[in-house]
Amino acid sequence: MKIYLVGGAVRDQLLGLPVTERDWVVVGGSAAELEALDYQQVGKDFPVFLHPKSKEEYALARTERKRGTGHTGFTVDANPEVSLEQDLSRRDLTINAIAQDDSGQLIDPCHGLKDIQQRQLRHISPAFNEDPLRVLRVARFHAKLAHLGFSIAKETLLLMRDISRSGELATLSAERIWREFSQALNQASPQVFIQTLRQCDALAALLPELDRCFDQHDNMRNVASQIGQRTVDALTYSAEQNLSGPVRWSLCLHGINHLSRAKNITAKTIGPEPSSNDQVNAITQRLKVPNEYSELALLAVHYCDHIMQAQNSKPDLIIDLFDRCDVWRRPERFEQLLYCCEALSATNDEQAHTVLGSITFLRTAYQRCHQINAEQFVNAGLTGKAVGESLRNARKICLAELKQQF
């Protein structure tokens, strides 16, 4: 029985990137042998075991044969006769099919070292198109490695397009799709993930609401702009500023309802509750997006326009904005919303100064309004609705005075 370090740990080590987790492949061994050594088997579909101390994953060398549709439609053979080369050749990309033995020697039957040198993401064999999840994985690796000069080999991109057009992406579970999206958006170049999915026709299948934005224009901040390109530029900024995953997801969705956005954002009303947005809710349900991501996306879709011109808004509207965003109880989420607007403002130099001024105004406005609380009115003897009315009036006066300073 021999054990080799494989996959991402070897790849990232060769690229000088941090190694966050290590995976191992066991050649010539069996489940019984590993269990006798106190390894714990996880899952039922694949022969993967956890090391008794390190808890790192050790998988028996295996081959896979397509027997059905989708990501799980494979027959697995993990008998002790499966060689290391056979196991490596079933993987997706050449750069992920390099193994290292306990002496540090590299085993590279798929020529991954050459592709690392040439900065190419290249599939190993025609069997690549048997697993639709690989479209998302390659796009994610592109987002991870683009800043190092990596690109996708032309023939690999063509296979990704074939998979996207085959309809097999529809067989992927929502959990697997969202896992790839959330990981990719947190890579060094999240915009590359979106661009790659669009390039191979996968974005239209997985997130058509965003895909359509690449053919649409609007007048956010009174400047005509192409929504898809603005999203790409904002995602680029989000990575440069190390903004959170929920912010990056919100940037992906910020423009999907541009046709229904209010034309006069300095009006006295800011529209319906964010929770009523059918498009965002449909995406959330379809991809099973976590609340932390979906809630911020709803706010971004509805209120980015208002935030960007807050200095021109009346005190009543600003207080309504604070109330709708639940800023009094969740100021940290509101701060994330402001980061979304900062990222969007960075896509247009002409308007950036004005937008950043509005964001600074809102941060100051929240701090001053937060200091005015209901307790002082209760202590003054007010009760019931009178407390709320007095609180709102006091905050309106505060905002009116603050606007004069800006």
Range of the domain at 39: 1-117
Tally the domains of the chain.
3
Which residue do the tokens 């898809």 mark? Answer: 228
Return the pLDDT at 267.
46
Whether 231 and 306 share a structural domain: yes
Looking at the structure, tell me whether residues 137 and 81 fall in a common domain. no
Instruction: State whether 223 and 287 are in the same domain.
Output: yes
CATH of the domain at 67: 3.30.460.10
127 shares a domain with 85: no
**Structure tokens, 299:** 């706010």
In a domain, 201, yes or no: yes
Q: Please check whether residue 263 lies inside any domain of the structure.
A: yes
Mean predicted lDDT score pLDDT of the chain: 91
Residues 140 and 109 in one domain: no
- Domain-embedded: residue 155: yes
- In a domain? residue 343: yes
**What CA–CA distances, in Å, run from 247 to 35, 231, 306, 318?**
44, 12, 17, 22
90-132 pLDDT tens trace: 999 999 999 999 999 999 999 999 999 999 999 999 999 999 9
- 267 and 335 in a single domain? The answer is yes
239 and 194 within one domain: no
| Same domain, yes or no: 361 and 250 | yes
Of 107-111, 178-182, 206-210, 261-265, where does mean pLDDT reach its minimum? Answer: 261-265
Asked if 191 and 329 sit in the same domain, the reply is no
Residue 89 reports pLDDT greater than 60:
yes
The CATH number of residue 154's host domain is 1.10.110.30
Residue 363, amino acid = R
